Amino acid sequence: MPRKKAKIANPYGDLPTDLVGVHGFIRVNLNDAQTGDVIGDSGWVENVITVQGSGSYIVGALGGLANSSQIGYICVAAQTAAPASNSTSLGTEQTRKAATKSLTGNGTLQSTASWATNEANTTLGTIALYATDTGGSMACATTFTSSVKTTDQTLSATYSITFA
């Protein structure tokens, strides 16, 4: 659903006053490893962009600032509590996978990753984006309806961040 652009008072005279918002959404699927059938689908879930996400990942990367970060990995975790905007990491991380990234539309970054039958076999309920494969601060995160991933299942995740 398109979001309305906010109008703000402009102290700089004739400069445009339209604002651009940043919104992230995830979708996680559990698949039967033999048939490929989807056996669990989170649907699209909106996420929380963290303080580090807006500062280091968005503003810092856009400006080429020292110590800025770029999204590189998707992490799944057993945590079921919703992350707050000041969170820097997930509890009970299971694994991070390198993200395949692409521009999927006007202003949308899409990151995807998949986990094989021998990876992340536990109850999963949280997903996040990170710059590195270990440590560091997450850019954004959210919970989804927790599911138990087993050795006869694969997991796929899609993370979309839209500037609109």
pLDDT of residue 105: 80
Residue 139: its pLDDT value, please?
A: 93
Give residue 110's pLDDT.
95
Residue whose pair of structure tokens reads 């905007």 in the numeric block = 85
pLDDT band of 4, cuts 50, 70, 90: low
pLDDT at 141 over 90: yes
**pLDDT(40) > 60:** yes
Q: Other C-beta atoms within 10 Å of 38: how many? A: 11
pLDDT of 16 reads: 62
Higher-confidence residue: 137 or 1?
Answer: 137
Q: Residue 127: pLDDT band by 50, 70, 90 thresholds?
A: very high
Supply 100's token pair. 């395949």
Query: pLDDT tens for residues 66-82?
Result: 989 999 999 999 988 88
Q: Find, among 88, 79, 96, 86, the residue nearest to 134 by Cα.
A: 96
- Stretch 86-90: mean pLDDT: 89
Q: How far apart are CA 107 and CA 126, in angstroms?
A: 25
Q: What is the pLDDT of residues 50-65, one digit of tens each?
A: 998 888 998 888 888 9
Distance CA 104, CA 58 (A): 18
Mean pLDDT of the chain: 88
Examine the pLDDT at 14 and tell me if it is beyond 80. Answer: no
Lowest mean pLDDT: which of 4-8, 76-80, 143-147, 155-159? 4-8
pLDDT at residue 120, rounded to an integer? 93
The whole-number pLDDT of residue 126 equals 93
- In the chain, where are the structural domains located? 23-163
